Amino acid sequence: MKIRPVLRSVAIGVAVIVVVLIYAYAFTVTDVNFETTRSEQRLTNLTRILRALAHPDILEYAQEEQIVESPIYLPCPQQAIPQLRPVAGGPFLIVSPACGDARQIIEVEGVGLWPESKGPVNFIPPSGASLTIGLFETDSDGGFKIRAQLPNRQPLTDPQTLRAIARRNVGGPHLSPMADVTIDKILETVFLALLATTIGTILAVPISFVAARNLMEKVRNPLTSVSLSLVGWPLGIWLGASAAGSIGRLLDAASASMAVTVGGAMLSPLAMWGAVAWALPRGGTRPTSWRVRLVRGLVYVLIIGFFILFLTFLANLGLSFGKWLIEPLGKLGFLGNFVYQLGDSLRMITPVLAGLVGGAALGGLGGRMGQQASDRLDPRLVRGLNIVTAASSGVVLFALIGGVLDWFYQFQDPVKTLWVPAAAGAAVGVFLAVRAQPKATLPIGSSAYYITRTILNAIRSVEPLIMVIVFVVWVGIGPFAGALALGLHTVAALAKLFSEQVESILPGPLEAIQATGANRLQTIAFAVVPQVIPPYISFLMYRWDINVRMSTIIGFAGGGGIGFLLQQNIGILNYRAASTQMLAIAIVVATMDYLSSTLRQRFV
Amino acid sequence: MLEISNLTKIYPGNVLALDRVSFSVQPGEFLAVIGLSGSGKSTLLRCINRLVEPSSGQVTWNGVDITQASAEELLRIRRKIGMVFQHFNLVSRSKVITNVLAGRLGYVNPALSLAHRFPKTDIQMALRQLGRVGIANQAFKRADELSGGQQQRVGVARAMMQEPEMVLADEPVASLDPVLAHSIMQHLESINRDDGVMVICSLHFLDLVHRYAHRAIALNEGRLMFDGSPKDIDDAKFKEIYGQEAERVG
């Protein structure tokens, strides 16, 4: 019983020692040195910077100047210096002595200048270069007297000039050029954040459903279905993207006339809509015959064609209409540029969208065929089918991975990057198909969930400040690179936050909607979406807030916005200008904070 | 005709929720399912429309084994089975009419429904169903603005939108006061009597069972303890179903 307290105090003692050691080491590592904080030189510097920061460069006045000159000899000449008589009432300078050696202290006295003005006293050699040797402020009578040191110059026999420049403010204050630039840049910053948040949200919403465990973990498909859809996806992506490419080239030639473009952009969605309305299963009780299914399939292909056509027409419309708009709109020409850029971005993402749609179509078709085969056929037949399909999907998957590796590391060796992976994929596929129960289901939803989560976490762990370096290389220094980097980070961050909201919805409504016979998408649209809208808006605001703050420093790495300016001014030790930018950032961040909390209260 | 044979459900962690349960229900019958909380009533109902995947056994309805149905067939089966829940399970931020229209999701054009577009006939039908349960004037309110009894009527209307041949009601009145309970039970009774829909309803109160059910089955720890007329539940049977310490109330 007695040993316990002893042990206890020993333990406490050891703990204290360990804590002291940890902090001692921390002091060493972080170079803690209070001596430097007291050194006079550093204190002077600190004072200078703090005072500069306290005087942000925002307002300035128009100024007028009054110039008074007096000759000065350096060194003193042999003969007497001619005395200058002051002009009655006018301003004049008295320099005593009126000559001297280099570095000699002289006294400069001004009489009859503007009262309450200030300015420099400059030494001007025959070359005309001006050297400030002192600063003066006049009293209420317009006089001043300062001591100044003559510069260290080559001696000359001719007189040189001392010039006093008195300056005074004219009229009211107005914004300094630095303030103007700062306002420009802070606006750029806010819009950069807006774009990044928009891009991020648009992409994060669909991804968040895939990254939600409660929606994905029940999605299980048989091996036949999974492998057929794995083959279908890349094939569909390739088909869709190349279809979009050839349609785009075809229309580029034909889209010279505006009428064709406008007509096409209006007719193609109508055709698409008609085909969709005709082809979608309407839900008769009888299973549909294979002939109807075949026709329906062909119509689906047609729909995808119309879809690509529509996107291409729309992009062309934006491009030509936007370019046409810039001139007549004059000052609002940026609207034309907006339309043009929208068209251009649509042209860029059309192959991507077409690829995704094609992939989804073929992947879905493969999955469905696999599902049906697995549902209806004899288990032994299914096993045989599994061996074939799993092997081919393994070949496709591994060859694709090989291709990606080849692109990064440039092996340039088809044996290593194509044939070996393909063979390995086939072997893995066959192995899986032989080992698994023929009709057993694979947790394909959970796999998608984990893969999505991993990618999101990887992206999220890279700070936008680092991402922007890559984007600067791609699209050049400027706010566009910053918007893309912030946007990418926003996708990952928001998708994670959103998906956690999906995971925390009430399961009851989900169950109820499923019980009505709704399919997966309908369940999401009717049971999930209404429940997650308020938290989505809330997180969207929060993220916008973060993006505004991030965008103020993304310029440090070349991402445009106010950070670029701030970094420049700190670099050239212009602390008053830097202070202006810091003030602007503070105002914008505080305003955004207030705005977002108000909006959140209103909407959520 | 619904035939359930040897239905077994084992939840992860080796929890036996249903133990070889077999019974059958005739078309147009009102069947009550009774038993203590946790006796497997909810699991039984959810195994019928496979909201819960049964571990083994068959659920045969009109000659089709629901447990073997493919994903696509299951959707077609589910839309003929209406379901009413203890906690109503309405989407509380959506309008009442949207909640009711959700009952048509198994029938309508899927692409149009994603954009919340429903055929006119369906909207008229939704208003009719809301009128039938007496809350047509609440159609355009948000679901969470309604009282508990009104919300459950929306739940009933949603189930009726499916033009069901069977309604599963999972303790539909357990969260309601006795007056509201009778009004909801009368709606279910009318569905059963006037529309000829088979109703399988789990209930807590024996007086409700006596008043509304044609037949009752009882579960205890996942096993079927009783199958017969509600009148045949005497004190001995009661103690067998609910345990020796139980006393009859109401």
pLDDT tens digits for range B186-197: 999 999 999 999
Chain A neighbors of B92, CB-CB under 8 A: 509
Q: What are A362's two structure tokens? A: 């073929």
Express each pLDDT in A152-206 by its tens digit.
877 777 888 889 898 888 888 888 888 999 998 988 888 899 999 998 999 999 9
Query: What is the spatial distance between Cα A358 and Cα A243, in angstroms, rounded to a whole number?
Result: 9
List strand residue ranges (DSSP E) for A295-407, in order.
Answer: none
Would an 8 Å CB–CB cutoff place B162 in contact with chain A? yes
Task: Note the pLDDT of residue B81.
Answer: 95
Of A96-100, A165-169, B43-47, B228-232, which range is least confident?
Answer: A96-100
pLDDT band at A72 (very low <50, low <70, confident <90, very high): confident
Q: What are A248's two structure tokens? A: 């785009």
Query: What is the spatial distance between Cα B41 and Cα A552, in angstroms, rounded to a whole number?
Result: 59
Q: What are B250's two structure tokens? A: 């109401």
Chain A neighbors of B107, CB-CB under 8 A: 283, 517
Give yes or no for a contact between B34 and B44, defined as CB atoms under 8 angstroms apart. no
Q: Is A128 left (phi over 0), alpha (psi -120 to 50) or beta?
A: left
Task: Note the pLDDT of residue A307.
Answer: 87
Q: Compute the nearest-CA separation of B90 from chain A (Å).
A: 6
Would an 8 Å CB–CB cutoff place B117 in contact with chain A? no
Task: Note the pLDDT of residue A86.
Answer: 67
The 10 Å Cβ neighbour count of residue A100 is 18
Of B76, B89, B98, the CB nearest to A508: B89
Chain B neighbors of A519, CB-CB under 8 A: 75, 105, 110
Pairing assessment for the beta strands A92-96 and B223-228 based on DSSP bridges: unpaired
Angle between the N-to-C axes of helices A223-254 and A333-376, in degrees from 0 to 180, rounded to the nearest 10: 150
Report all structural domains of chain B as residue ranges with CATH numbers, in order of start.
1-80+167-243 (3.40.50.300), 87-163 (no CATH)
Would an 8 Å CB–CB cutoff place B51 in contact with chain A? yes
Of A509, A511, A522, the CB nearest to B110: A522
Peptide bond into A82 cis (omega under 30): no
CA nearest to B52 within chain A: A511
Of A283, A372, A530, the CB nearest to B107: A283
List strand residue ranges (DSSP E) for B142-230, in order.
Answer: 166-170, 198-202, 215-220, 223-228
Decide which of B109 and A65 is more confident.
Answer: A65
Tell whether the model's pLDDT for residue A478 goes beyond 80. yes
pLDDT band at A512 (very low <50, low <70, confident <90, very high): very high
Chain A neighbors of B106, CB-CB under 8 A: 283, 516-518
Tell whether the model's pLDDT for residue A1 goes beyond 60. no
User: Exposed/middle/buried for A486, CB within 10 Å: 0-12, 13-18, 19+?
Assistant: buried
Give yes or no for a contact between A508 and B89, defined as CB atoms under 8 angstroms apart. yes
pLDDT band at A604 (very low <50, low <70, confident <90, very high): low
Task: Note the pLDDT of residue A253.
Answer: 67
Express each pLDDT in A236-290 by its tens digit.
999 999 988 888 888 776 666 777 778 888 888 888 888 877 776 655 545 567 7
Task: Note the pLDDT of residue A510.
Answer: 93
In this complex, do A512 and B85 lie within 8 Å of one another by their Cβ atoms? yes
Would an 8 Å CB–CB cutoff place B98 in contact with chain A? yes
Residues 6+ apart with CB under 8 A from A215: A209, A445, A502, A524, A528
Would an 8 Å CB–CB cutoff place B71 in contact with chain A? yes
Of A276, A513, A533, the CB nearest to B105: A513
Peptide bond into A75 cis (omega under 30): yes
User: How large a percentage of chain A has pLDDT more than 70?
Assistant: 96
Task: Note the pLDDT of residue A291.
Answer: 80
Q: Compute the nearest-CA separation of A513 from chain B (Å).
A: 7
| Residue closest to B7 by CA, chosen among B27, B22, B17, B28 | B22
Q: What are A119's two structure tokens? A: 């300015």
Would an 8 Å CB–CB cutoff place B79 in contact with chain A? yes
| Residue closest to A170 by CA, chosen among A122, A120, A114, A112 | A114
Of A282, A375, A512, the CB nearest to B109: A282
Of A280, A372, A508, the CB nearest to B109: A280
In this complex, do B93 and A531 lie within 8 Å of one another by their Cβ atoms? yes
In this complex, do A280 and B107 lie within 8 Å of one another by their Cβ atoms? no
Chain B neighbors of A516, CB-CB under 8 A: 78-79, 83, 102-106, 158, 161-162
Chain B neighbors of A282, CB-CB under 8 A: 109
Tell whether the model's pLDDT for residue B50 goes beyond 90. yes
Would an 8 Å CB–CB cutoff place B206 in contact with chain A? no
Chain B neighbors of A513, CB-CB under 8 A: 91, 102, 105
CA nearest to B102 within chain A: A513
The ipTM, to two decimals, is 0.93
Q: What is the number of helices (H) and of strands (E) in chain B?
A: 9, 10
Query: What is the spatial distance between Cα A260 and Cα A309, in angstroms, rounded to a whole number?
Result: 12
pLDDT band at B127 (very low <50, low <70, confident <90, very high): very high
In this complex, do B110 and A280 lie within 8 Å of one another by their Cβ atoms? yes
pLDDT band at B37 (very low <50, low <70, confident <90, very high): confident
Express each pLDDT in A202-236 by its tens digit.
999 999 999 999 888 888 888 888 888 989 999 99
Decide which of A600 and B166 is more confident.
Answer: B166
| Residue closest to A230 by CA, chosen among A56, A359, A90 | A359
DSSP state for residue B249 in the 8-state scheme: -
Would an 8 Å CB–CB cutoff place B137 in contact with chain A? no
The 10 Å Cβ neighbour count of residue A332 is 11
What's the mean per-residue pLDDT of chain B?
90
- β partners of residue A118: A137, A167
In this complex, do B111 and A276 lie within 8 Å of one another by their Cβ atoms? yes
* Mean pLDDT, residues A402-419 taken together: 86
- Residue found under tokens 């030189």: A41
Give yes or no for a contact between A110 and A138, defined as CB atoms under 8 angstroms apart. yes
pLDDT band at A432 (very low <50, low <70, confident <90, very high): confident
In this complex, do B70 and A516 lie within 8 Å of one another by their Cβ atoms? no
What's the mean per-residue pLDDT of chain A?
87
Task: Note the pLDDT of residue A221.
Answer: 85
Chain A neighbors of B109, CB-CB under 8 A: 277, 280, 282-283
Interface-testing mutation among B43, B105, B160, with chain A (most A C-beta atoms within 10 A)? B105
Q: What are B21's two structure tokens? A: 């349960």
Query: What is the spatial distance between Cα B200 and Cα A381, in angstroms, rounded to a whole number?
Result: 40
Task: Note the pLDDT of residue A280.
Answer: 65
Of A277, A517, A530, the CB nearest to B106: A517
In this complex, do A515 and B77 lie within 8 Å of one another by their Cβ atoms? no
Interface-testing mutation among A505, A516, A523, A536, with chain B (most B C-beta atoms within 10 A)? A516
Task: Note the pLDDT of residue A380.
Answer: 86
Chain B neighbors of A277, CB-CB under 8 A: 109, 112
Chain B neighbors of A288, CB-CB under 8 A: none
In this complex, do B79 and A276 lie within 8 Å of one another by their Cβ atoms? no
Q: What are B1's two structure tokens? A: 């005709």
User: How large a percentage of chain A has pLDDT more than 90?
Assistant: 27
In this complex, do A526 and B102 lie within 8 Å of one another by their Cβ atoms? yes
Would an 8 Å CB–CB cutoff place B155 in contact with chain A? yes
Tell whether the model's pLDDT for residue B244 goes beyond 80. no
CA nearest to A524 within chain B: B114
Query: What is the spatial distance between Cα B116 and Cα A372, in angstroms, rounded to a whole number?
Result: 30
Task: Note the pLDDT of residue A453.
Answer: 94
Of B51, B110, B116, the CB nearest to A511: B51
Chain A neighbors of B112, CB-CB under 8 A: 277
The enclosing H or E element of B104 equals none
Task: Note the pLDDT of residue A60.
Answer: 85
Q: Is A39 left (phi over 0), alpha (psi -120 to 50) or beta?
A: beta
Q: What are B189's two structure tokens? A: 């009774």
Instruction: For residue B121, give the amino acid letter.
Output: T
Tell whether the model's pLDDT for residue A93 goes beyond 70. yes
Of B91, B113, B155, the CB nearest to A530: B91
Task: Note the pLDDT of residue A126.
Answer: 83
Interface-testing mutation among B52, B68, B75, with chain A (most A C-beta atoms within 10 A)? B75
Give yes or no for a contact between A240 and A357, defined as CB atoms under 8 angstroms apart. yes
CA nearest to A371 within chain B: B70
In this complex, do B75 and A519 lie within 8 Å of one another by their Cβ atoms? yes
Greatest alpha-carbon span in chain B: 56
A59 to each of A179, A578, A580, how far by Cα in Å? 8, 14, 10
User: How large a percentage of chain B has pLDDT more than 90?
Assistant: 68
Task: Note the pLDDT of residue A544.
Answer: 86
Task: Note the pLDDT of residue B128.
Answer: 94
